[in-house]
Amino acid sequence: MKYPVFFSVIFALMMFISTEARSQVKVDVKGKVNNEADNRANNATDRVIDAGFNKIEEGIRGVFKKKDKKDKGDAKAEEATTEGDQSEAAAAEKATGKDAKQQASAGDTAPKEATLSWAKFDFVPGDQVIFEDNLQNEQNGEFPSRWDLANGNIEIAEFGGEKVIMMRDGQPTIVPYFKDPKEDHLPDVFTVELDLYYPGGGSFDIYLYDRNNQEPGSPSGYTALSVYNSNEFKFASSSSIYPGKKNYTKGWMHISIACTDGKLKAYMDDTRLINIPRIDFNPQGITLYSYHASNENIFYVKNVRIAKGGVKYYDRVMQDGKIIVNGIRFDVNKSTLKPESMGAINEIYTLMKDNPDLKFSVEGHTDSQGDDAFNMKLSEERAETVKNTLIKMGISADRLSSKGWGESKPISNNASPEDMANNRRVEFVKI
């Protein structure tokens, strides 16, 4: 009883394939046929039709033979590429076991390009720089000249195309060099900033006293801000994790610490993770330390800055008619803003938003290093960048102008790294 149905289906199918093969032989006819075959195979009562269908499929199989070979070749090529990628990853992993100097010089993980997305960043550096180390004049392989060694193995290296302080092994510990090391280096209001490369394991500590020369002075014994697992800060009984950031990852982070008469705030990149109303000791100095550093787990540090805090922006402009900001940072010899600049810029934005009659001339200044004409042009471009950033944030363009002064108006004598850091500034002059 089923045979008439069988021949009818076979005839209809042959007509369909004949038409499709003539007009669309480049379309995936085999796929359509296979789909139909799968549907029929699922119907147990149509096994005879399925068998006839398979015979017809064999008749057109030759049309797709070349395509099959091509698909298989593509699959093999893709597999080979994947294997190559895995081999490259394995080689990179193996390379991490090389000598620390070679690893650092290779710059195996360059810092990502900065993006100005720190819209809620409210950290503002202190007014006056009291310690600055950008490592510009350091020699690769030597001990960093502006520091004292307390323990371990530390030297200057090149990593990601930049000079860095490499903390290798032996519980590396360093303290900033001050003329009278036992004295209290830190004022009641101060800020500390640095860039830290977290290698994927261990912890990094920033002690708020000089462990080489000073006593901790803390009854509780807790004197250090600790970085754990690339996404967590700890200080005493307080700890906080950066939202959405995975732990145990490698990469750079910007650390900012603000201490105001014993109140401590600490930021990882754009987010405040620690906010303690009062610590139980007087911070006197700074120590950088990592118990977990090794040749396979190297920590890198750069751009260390300690600054004395000051008056709020509104009070400054009302008192002096201008605001001097050294917390707006740029790439070396460029007008490209660094993301940590957004703390100061956000503060200026809020000030102008809350005081709609306030207008500023944004004025750029440089230190005395380099050519006069280059410094003048650079200061103009940097001032223009800051002005345009504020305009993009929503400040009306008619409330802002910009100009550059180059190195012509220093506020320090350029005799030390701290002097030059204070001269590299942006001023907001009331107009």
Closest CA to 297 of 169, 410, 387: 169
Compute the distance between CA of residue 409 and CA of residue 114 in angstroms, rounded to an integer: 30
Longest dimension (CA), the chain: 109
For the chain, what's the residue count?
431
* Residues 103, 159: Cα–Cα separation, whole Å: 8
3-state secondary structure of 238: strand
Residue 266 near residue 272 (C-beta atoms within 8 A): yes
How far is it, in rounded angstroms, from Cα 269 to Cα 266? 10
pLDDT bin (cut points 50, 70, 90) of residue 119 is confident
CB-CB contact of 256 with 340 (8 Å) = yes
Name 5's Cβ contacts closer than 8 Å, sequence gap at least 6. 49
| Structure-token pair, residue 115 | 């993006």
How many CB atoms neighbour CB 142 within 10 A? Answer: 9
pLDDT at 214: 97
CB count within 10 Å of CB 141 equals 13
Which pLDDT does position 241 carry in this prediction?
97
- Nearest of 413, 335, 338, 329 to residue 368 by alpha carbon: 413
Q: Which residue has the higher pLDDT, 158 or 94?
A: 158
Q: Please state, in angstroms and rounded to a whole number, the distance separating the CA atoms of residues 401 and 408.
A: 19
Assign 193 to helix, strand or coil: strand
**Vertex 120: Cα angle to 118 and 124 (nearest 5):** 85
Report the pLDDT value the prediction gives residue 172, as an integer from 0 to 100: 98
pLDDT band at 310 (very low <50, low <70, confident <90, very high): confident
User: What φ, ψ does residue 406 adopt, rounded to 5°?
Assistant: 60, -135
Task: Flag whether pLDDT at 269 surpasses 90.
Answer: yes
Three-state secondary-structure class, residue 17:
helix
**What pLDDT, on the 0 to 100 scale, is given for residue 81?**
36
Domains (ranges, CATH) in the chain?
1-95 (no CATH), 100-310 (2.60.120.560), 312-431 (3.30.1330.60)
Confidence of residue 73 (pLDDT cuts 50, 70, 90): very low
pLDDT band for 312, please (50, 70, 90 cuts).
Answer: confident
Q: How far apart are CA 258 and CA 235, in angstroms?
A: 13
- In the block, tokens 């732990």 appear at 247
**pLDDT tens track for 273-288:** 999 999 999 999 999 9
pTM higher than the cut 0.75? no
Q: What is the pLDDT of residues 345-388, one digit of tens each?
A: 999 999 999 999 999 999 999 999 999 999 999 999 999 999 99
Sequence-separated (6 or more) residues with CB below 8 Å from residue 43:
none
Average pLDDT over residues 216-234: 95
Structure tokens at 178: 């001050």
For 28, the token pair is 């995936």
List b or e across 326-343, with b for residues whose CB sees 16 or more CB atoms inside 10 angstroms: bbbbbeeeebbbbbbbbb
Of 55 and 167, the one with more pLDDT: 167
Q: Are 128 and 190 in contact (CB under 8 A)?
A: no
* Residue 328 tokens, joined: 């707006």
More confident position, 213 or 5 = 213
Strands annotated E in 359-415: 360-365, 400-404
Q: Tokens 């303290």, residue? A: 175
Name the nearest CA neighbour of 339 among 158, 111, 63.
111
Q: What is the mean pLDDT of residues 148-174?
A: 96
Lowest mean pLDDT among 24-33, 76-85, 249-258: 76-85
Q: What is the pLDDT of residue 117?
A: 66
What is the rounded distance in angstroms from the CA atom of residue 91 to the CA atom of residue 96? 9
Q: Taking a C-beta distance cutoff of 8 angstroms, is the pair 241, 231 a contact?
A: yes
* Residues 355/378, Cβ–Cβ less than 8 Å: no
Read off the amino acid at residue 379: S
Answer yes or no: is pLDDT of 264 > 90: yes
pLDDT at 389: 97
